[in-house]
Chain A
Amino acid sequence: MIEISELRKLIRQVAEDLRWLEDHLKQNGTEAIPLFRLRLAGVVVRNVIAPYLENQNAIPLHLAVLGGAGTGKSTIVNAIVGQVVAEANPQAGYTRHPTAYLTHPEADFKIHPFGFLGSLERSEKQVPANTDQDIYQMRLVSRSGTEPGGEANSPGALEEAVKGALEGSTQNPIPVPWVVWDCPDMTTWAATGYVSRLLEIIGLADVIIYVASDERYNDMVPTEFLQLAVRAGKSVVICLTKMNEKDTSSFIQHFKKEIFPKLQESKNNPLQIPVLCMPFRKPEQMVGDELRKDRYRIALFNQILVITEKPEEARRATVNAGMHFLHQEVQELLAPAQKDLEVLQNWREQVLTGQLEFDQRYRREFLNTEPLPRFDEAREQLAEMFELPGAARVASVFFRILRMPYRFVQTTLKQTLARPLAFQQGEYDVLQSALRAWLDALHAEAIRASQRHPLWKQIADGFQSGLVALIKEQFENNFRRFQLSASNEMEANSSAIAARLLSNQSVLAGLRILKLVFDLLAVLAGIWVGGLNWLTIIWVVVFVSLVQIGVDLLLRFYIDQKREQTRSRKIGLIQQFISAPLAEWMVQWPSSGGSAYEKLLLVVKRIPEGIRQLSGVIASHHAHKGDLSEKKSQKETGS
């Protein structure tokens, strides 16, 4: 079992995250319904899950009477309670805060400390229903007889009480303690101001009585709320009102035909929502015994009683449905945040495209024309290493003399034909202008998109105020580090070529011998071709030169390979030290430093996690409770 303090922390976290997300998305102009759904999810966590996990009593159950303006919610409240407690009045949108009618004073309910989090407060004194404040008020339904006592829970007493209730006996007409919530409407233009209070009650309720008049039953806005309640897994009872008595059954049929398809999520899972009705009555018909004995009222009352007969089970069903709602809809809940996340992703892509361009520009403007002269030195070094050491130096000298004409031709050709090297831009300058281009492109894009999404606006504002300076500063630091490591590495790279061969004496010796063999073969070939006369010397020189050309070409090929490797290595270093850290930093920038997007990323991760944890806690809680009740029953049977 989880500690109570930790549990509270978890619940507070999930509820606050949902609330924060709702507020955040509201600023982005998200549509109303997804926001309502978020609010409802938060309410379910605070008002249903939290009390259950803290072992609050299932009694009293909450019934919420929900419907459009003027549909007769107060009349239905009166009908459920069986006496006139709520005043019906014709002003549309008169009720502006929820009122709870408590049927059993001994079963007063407590709102969990996190319930109605900071939004609804209980008004201690009775205020008119049109008080437009974040309050709820509670009224006790006056008793018309003696107390039914604790026997309400035993089956016999229940039957008795139900019978009494239906016949309008003087006993407390309601066997199970209920809180009947009379809710404000959602259709009038003032409702935007108090719809959050309504959602608070929808989330809290165990049973929702959806009231729809003959005028309103196919209205869009109330239907959306009905959908919301059904999706949130609430037990819903639909009560149609104000039609002519003769039309009732056809009306119910019609309603089912029109509205049920809009509520159903899958065809193979037919809706189990009872639809009842309450035809039009004059106000004077809805009092006293006439009200209590009205057959439509009795049908409605029975329907609710069936659902709430066993309060523990009803509450557990509410909790399970709530959890199911959170679990199923978590992706849907977070969906509106998707837009923000997409923009973040888009920004990331822009930055990375810029990075690619930065690297390319470095390669083109600097690296490709950078000759890396150390490699030419290395090549000469290598060529010298083929000279034979020690006594064999005589042979080397001999061959060198033979190669002299070739060397002469080679150097003169090189001198006359070599193109002067292109003037080189400095590495730092190239990098700096590439960085500037990168930042300018991002800045321009941010300004262009700033009307599309607040995130881009934030970025554009950042560029106007010091972001560039911050990045440049980082660039300077990175460049210094790059230079340090690059110069070391370049040095090492070129000198390593000769050093590696030197350290590996056997390979070196092998190569030398191979070269010597080829040279000797060239001499022999010259003699073979020229015969033994003085012209032979020309042939020998030609063949020896050919061998040397081959060796030179091989060496050049090898060194160029190394040079190319070094170039790509250098690009790698640029990426490692400069462009990648900068890109990373820029990608992170909008969602760091306490910005809303940092929180968004956190919240989007934390909500599903929190819901999963809650679901785990609930499962273990169920098991625990099951054990307890089992023990209890065992004890009972044992005794």
Chain B
Amino acid sequence: MSEEEKITGEKGHDVPGESIKGGTPSSQPILRTLAPLLRGLQRELAQWQSVPKHGPANLIHQATMEGLINDLSRVAANLDVDRPFLVIMLVGGTGVGKSTLLNALAGEPIAAASIARPTTLDPVLYYHQSVRPDRIDPLLRYCRPVAHRRDSLLNKIIVDTPDVDSNELENREKLLALLPAADIVLFVGSQEKYHDQIIWNIFQQQRKRRAFAFVLNKWDRCYNATSGLRPDEDWLNDLRAEGFQNPKLFRICAQSWLDWQLRIAAETTKPPSKESSSNNASLQPGSLLSGNLQPVGLQPVGLQPVGLPPGEQFLELKTWLETGLSLLEIEAVKTRGVDQLLSSVIVALQTAMPLLLTEVAHHTEASWEKILIEEASATGDILLNTLEPYQKEIEAHFQMEGQQRYRGFMALYLRLTSRIRLASSSLRDRFSVLPKETKVQSPTQWNLAVFAHECTRVAGQNVLNQRRTALANRLLVDAEKSGFPLLLIQPEMEKATSQDFQKLFDQAIMDGLAEMEQILTHPTGVRKIFQALLSLLANILPEIAFIGGYLIFLWRFFVVEGYQASLIDVVLPLIVTVIVLIFMQAIIAAILPLHWSKIRDAFHKKLVLRLSKEFKQYYGSIPQQTAQLILAERDRILFLIEQSGRIQKWLLDQQNNATVNELYSQLTDHNH
């Protein structure tokens, strides 16, 4: 605090207490240790950024986050040097005199200044010749570099920028691209423009991110107010409202100083510099002239242009830039910059934080269950309806499966009859009863899998595909009603909807039928005994009849005298066998019936049960899964926030920022 008072108290005096004495500065332990920490955080953030989010997915948020990640890596790179530079950027509307100010500070016309607006198209980078160009922030590399030999500006780079408010919108974009590189923004205003909206908006966006100092140029037009507020007072009021309690505001007349310096230069180096003073074009960095002009910048105080308005502060500004920002301050500004960056990261992370939905997911699941069961039963109905016309084929199928119990003649006979039945089934389709669209192509070679697949295909084509999107919509709407944001659940829902449901239905039908068959062909209790008995009889009786018949025939043929073998006698055993077969079949059909109508309801129940289980598996877990993902994301964000916070706290412990407070907005976060 005392330090601060000292600086402000000394305003108006000529030389502040301390100044840099050339020499190599000591290394910066805090800043260098900061670099790897920031890099680590940056990596974590970049990794987090690369995965898809469930939070409030917003393009603007994403862009902000990306910008912050870039800033982090850039800041880390900039800090990881022996001697960090302070980048001071002149920002303001067109014509306020940014370039003139830079020229006045340099004491020579290094930046183009003219009446044509906007003047500055390629920004000038004013830096000490000892700085290796590859050390300069990549963002600034496309600026036009002008080197100088003024050791008082050893660690500082001054950047002139394009305007923000002219009709050339590209210029504004250029400036916005440059801004992230700035440590201190020197907000240059003039009597006309200090209040302008465009630059003010940029200031409001940036005031939480960097240090600000203010220059009111063309002061000669400001101080003779007859009514209203004087511009500097007006401006100070605004700045106070933005949280700058004691902003550094310099009231200057840059043009007067530049003219004066040029005149002196012309007088000291007579013939050659006359050209140069009228020549606005740039001078090459390191040229002889800049060296020659150097003493001008260090003119003894007391000499100044004539007719300066009262309260003119160009010299204060210059002194502040040269000596007020010592290594200590540079370090403080840099750390403070990192601190602000981290705060922005934390804010961005907090806005990206998704809502906790675990509780809601439970409600949603409970409410979905009803819908899913309803849907399963409807789907079951539809599948069953598709099967309905093929009940005879299904019965035949069951019988064929049952036939495996039988041997010999019975087996042969049954196979033959089922063949005939199936042949009639394909005949049946020639006389169409159902309209073409819904017709199932009954397979000539009976195969349950093919048949089931065919049924689900037709059902799917007609109804089920449409129902699936309807179901997804219904579930989504219901989730929204239970408080689960539809947009969050949508991606998972799409995934679930795009599953191959036909396979699922195929399997459900086949399994259902197989189960039915199991029940029918493997009865229990009395029926089991009947079955065993019947199959025994069916396996024996036809053979007995056949063999017995022919034995009798042979006996009569060889043993009985006078027997005339007729055709009837030869065929009779065969007929008897067939009659026995038919009789057995009838008995089996009567005692162990295989009627579709009997198994229909049981099958339906099984099918619906199976489907609701499947549906619940496919859809039911979506809210909970999504909620889990969100929970993981929240944890991740919380972790990142904590990381950032830890670095910030570490910084706070290290910070010694007493002399730079006035460069910052004290306003705590309020969004605008």
Partner of A219, one of B166, B385, B424, B467: B166
Contact across chains for B386 and A422 when beta carbons are under 8 A apart:
yes
A-B contact pairs, 26 of them (CB 8 A): A70-B192, A70-B193, A89-B227, A90-B191, A90-B222, A90-B228, A91-B228, A92-B194, A92-B234, A187-B193, A188-B196, A188-B197, A215-B117, A219-B166, A251-B115, A357-B466, A364-B466, A365-B462, A417-B427, A418-B428, A422-B438, A433-B470, A436-B470, A436-B474, A437-B474, A440-B473
Partner of B192, one of A189, A215, A221, A463: A215
Contact across chains for B487 and A448 when beta carbons are under 8 A apart:
yes
Residues of A close to B198: CB separation below 8 A: 220-221
Is A464 positioned at the interface, with any CB of B under 8 Å from its CB?
Answer: yes
CB-nearest residue of chain B to A463: B477
Is B481 positioned at the interface, with any CB of A under 8 Å from its CB?
Answer: yes
Is A153 positioned at the interface, with any CB of B under 8 Å from its CB?
Answer: no
Is A213 positioned at the interface, with any CB of B under 8 Å from its CB?
Answer: yes
Contact across chains for A423 and B477 when beta carbons are under 8 A apart:
no
Is B118 positioned at the interface, with any CB of A under 8 Å from its CB?
Answer: yes
Residues of A close to B226: CB separation below 8 A: 87-89
Residues of A close to B167: CB separation below 8 A: 218-220, 223, 258-259, 262
Range class of the A interface residue count: 35 or more
Residues of B close to A223: CB separation below 8 A: 167
Partner of B165, one of A214, A221, A420, A433: A221
Contact across chains for A68 and B192 when beta carbons are under 8 A apart:
yes
Most buried by A among B116, B165, B192, B196: B192
**C-alpha gap A196/B618 in the complex (Å):** 58
Contact across chains for A130 and B228 when beta carbons are under 8 A apart:
yes
Segment of B120-128, B319-327, B387-395 engaged in the interface with chain A: B387-395
Is B240 positioned at the interface, with any CB of A under 8 Å from its CB?
Answer: no
Residues of B close to A83: CB separation below 8 A: none
Contact across chains for A422 and B378 when beta carbons are under 8 A apart:
no
Residues of A close to B476: CB separation below 8 A: 440, 444, 447
Q: Closest Cβ of chain B: how far from A540's Cβ, in Å? A: 26
Interface members, chain B 476-494 (any A CB < 8 Å): 476-477, 480-481, 486-487, 490
CB-nearest residue of chain A to B192: A70
Residues of B close to A219: CB separation below 8 A: 93-94, 117, 165-167
Binary per-residue interface labels of chain A (480-495) against chain B in the complex, 1 for a CB within 8 Å, 0 otherwise: 0000000000000000
Contact across chains for B228 and A220 when beta carbons are under 8 A apart:
no
Contact across chains for B227 and A87 when beta carbons are under 8 A apart:
yes
CB-nearest residue of chain B to A564: B435
Interface members, chain A 127-170 (any B CB < 8 Å): 128-130
Contact across chains for A215 and B473 when beta carbons are under 8 A apart:
no
Contact across chains for B486 and A213 when beta carbons are under 8 A apart:
no
Number of interface residues of B (CB under 8 A): 71
Is A177 positioned at the interface, with any CB of B under 8 Å from its CB?
Answer: no
Most buried by A among B200, B234, B477: B477
Is B381 positioned at the interface, with any CB of A under 8 Å from its CB?
Answer: yes
Q: Closest Cβ of chain B: how far from A568's Cβ, in Å? A: 13
- What 8 A-B pairs have minimum CB-CB distances, sorted nearest first? A70-B192, A437-B470, A215-B95, A91-B228, A92-B195, A440-B473, A218-B117, A188-B195
Binary per-residue interface labels of chain B (93-136) against chain A in the complex, 1 for a CB within 8 Å, 0 otherwise: 11110000000000000000001111000000000000000000
Is B169 positioned at the interface, with any CB of A under 8 Å from its CB?
Answer: yes
Binary per-residue interface labels of chain A (84-99) against chain B in the complex, 1 for a CB within 8 Å, 0 otherwise: 0001111111100000
Contact across chains for B473 and A90 when beta carbons are under 8 A apart:
no
Residues of A close to B229: CB separation below 8 A: 91, 94
Q: Closest Cβ of chain A: how far from B486's Cβ, in Å? A: 5
Contact across chains for A189 and B196 when beta carbons are under 8 A apart:
yes
Residues of A close to B200: CB separation below 8 A: 189
**C-alpha gap A360/B465 in the complex (Å):** 12
**C-alpha gap A419/B393 in the complex (Å):** 10
Is A3 positioned at the interface, with any CB of B under 8 Å from its CB?
Answer: no
Is A466 positioned at the interface, with any CB of B under 8 Å from its CB?
Answer: no
Is A56 positioned at the interface, with any CB of B under 8 Å from its CB?
Answer: no
Contact across chains for A69 and B225 when beta carbons are under 8 A apart:
no
Interface members, chain B 388-429 (any A CB < 8 Å): 388-392, 424, 427-428
**C-alpha gap A94/B222 in the complex (Å):** 13
**C-alpha gap A478/B423 in the complex (Å):** 48
Q: Closest Cβ of chain A: how far from B389's Cβ, in Å? A: 4
With A188-B196, A420-B391, A440-B473 given, is the CB distance from A70 to B466 under 8 Å? no
**C-alpha gap A91/B424 in the complex (Å):** 102
Residues of A close to B222: CB separation below 8 A: 90
Interface members, chain B 205-261 (any A CB < 8 Å): 221-231, 234
Is A191 positioned at the interface, with any CB of B under 8 Å from its CB?
Answer: yes
**C-alpha gap A62/B216 in the complex (Å):** 36
Is A416 positioned at the interface, with any CB of B under 8 Å from its CB?
Answer: yes
Is B384 positioned at the interface, with any CB of A under 8 Å from its CB?
Answer: yes
CB-nearest residue of chain A to B378: A433
Is B560 positioned at the interface, with any CB of A under 8 Å from its CB?
Answer: no
Interface members, chain B 430-463 (any A CB < 8 Å): 431, 433-435, 437-438, 462-463
**C-alpha gap A217/B193 in the complex (Å):** 12
Partner of B433, one of A217, A419, A425: A419
Is A636 positioned at the interface, with any CB of B under 8 Å from its CB?
Answer: no
**C-alpha gap A425/B226 in the complex (Å):** 90
With A92-B194, A422-B389 given, is the CB distance from A364 to B231 under 8 Å? no
**C-alpha gap A250/B191 in the complex (Å):** 24
CB-nearest residue of chain B to A447: B486
CB-nearest residue of chain B to A419: B389
Is A620 positioned at the interface, with any CB of B under 8 Å from its CB?
Answer: no
With A90-B228, A433-B378, A440-B473 given, is the CB distance from A221 to B197 under 8 Å? yes
Contact across chains for A220 and B165 when beta carbons are under 8 A apart:
yes
CB-nearest residue of chain A to B235: A92
Contact across chains for B433 and A421 when beta carbons are under 8 A apart:
yes
Is B498 positioned at the interface, with any CB of A under 8 Å from its CB?
Answer: no
Q: Closest Cβ of chain A: how far from B308's Cβ, in Å? A: 16
Contact across chains for B389 and A421 when beta carbons are under 8 A apart:
yes
With A220-B166, A283-B224 given, is the CB distance from A425 to B381 under 8 Å? yes
Q: Closest Cβ of chain A: how far from B197's Cβ, in Å? A: 4
Contact across chains for A220 and B169 when beta carbons are under 8 A apart:
yes
Is A633 positioned at the interface, with any CB of B under 8 Å from its CB?
Answer: no
Residues of A close to B524: CB separation below 8 A: none
Q: Closest Cβ of chain B: how far from A465's Cβ, in Å? A: 11
Interface members, chain A 390-446 (any B CB < 8 Å): 414, 416-425, 433, 436-437, 440-441, 443-444
CB-nearest residue of chain B to A560: B435
Q: A89-B225, A364-B462, A369-B438 are in contact. List 14 more A-B contacts (CB 8 A).
A: A70-B191, A192-B197, A214-B117, A215-B96, A216-B95, A218-B118, A218-B167, A364-B463, A365-B463, A416-B424, A417-B424, A421-B433, A440-B476, A447-B477
